[in-house]
Chains A and B, each alone.
Chain A
């Protein structure tokens, strides 16, 4: 089955810095890669996703890049703010004809210091 590795497990940055979280996946058939943000005591929320036919996607201060050859994808947050502090999860799944259940990474705890 699919295996998703996520690094780092903890990331501490100063407000205004950039943050990068990286994930690798094992199944080359995976074609959908979402990212979720979970604030303390809250539910995970989808913040951005990318499909395998796209190399990069941006939404304001958040961007995701995908390297299918190397089987890794990354979340980039620019100009970090204290409210970005949360646990971030990557996931990989095979849609349409596959097992369609995403496999999640183990999460990255991002701490943004004011």
Chain B
């Protein structure tokens, strides 16, 4: 069983489109996150969601919005995609806020 699963693994789309990436964890963890990894491998936090408390990195454009239907899911919705959004997006979870992460396998988003 995959602990943190993301779909799709690859996503190629045109500028201006709206897309979603799904994330599910079966570890019973309390906190979930979304990270963006750019071409230089830097891992940038986008969102953290813990017990219905959402923490947003203020540098993330409001075109990005997380949606959590329940504790096991944290989906990422992106509106009006731009070329600069091309990156690998990782979902992660941790048993307790701030402690060791289990990452998903990543979604490589390419905006053309």
What is A's interface to B at a CB cutoff of 8 Å? 32, 34, 36, 38, 42-46, 49, 87, 89, 93-96, 98-104, 106-107, 109
Q: Please measure, in the bound complex, the distance between the C-alpha atom of A42 and the C-alpha atom of B104, giving whole angstroms.
A: 9
Q: Please measure, in the bound complex, the distance between the C-alpha atom of A43 and the C-alpha atom of B106, giving whole angstroms.
A: 7
Q: How large is the interface on B (under 10, 10 to 19, 20 to 34, 35 or more residues)?
A: 20 to 34
The smallest beta-carbon distance between B108 and chain A, in angstroms, is 9
Q: Which residues of B contact A36 (CB under 8 A)?
A: 101, 103
**Smallest Cβ-Cβ distance to A49: which chain B residue:** B100
Asked whether B98 lies within 8 Å of A101 as measured between CB atoms, the reply is: yes
Q: Please measure, in the bound complex, the distance between the C-alpha atom of A43 and the C-alpha atom of B6, giving whole angstroms.
A: 11
Q: Which residues of A contact B96 (CB under 8 A)?
A: 95
**Smallest Cβ-Cβ distance to A94: which chain B residue:** B98
What is B's interface to A at a CB cutoff of 8 Å? 31, 33, 40-43, 45, 48, 50, 55, 90, 96-106
Asked whether B98 lies within 8 Å of A43 as measured between CB atoms, the reply is: no
Do A107 and B42 contact each other (CB < 8 Å), given the known contacts A43-B103, A43-B104?
A: yes
Q: Which residues of B contact A96 (CB under 8 A)?
A: 98
Do A46 and B102 contact each other (CB < 8 Å), given the known contacts A95-B96, A99-B55?
A: yes
Asked whether A100 lies within 8 Å of B48 as measured between CB atoms, the reply is: yes
Asked whether A104 lies within 8 Å of B43 as measured between CB atoms, the reply is: yes
Asked whether A87 lies within 8 Å of B41 as measured between CB atoms, the reply is: yes
Asked whether A95 lies within 8 Å of B97 as measured between CB atoms, the reply is: yes
Interchain CB contact (< 8 A) of B55 among A101, A102, A109: A101
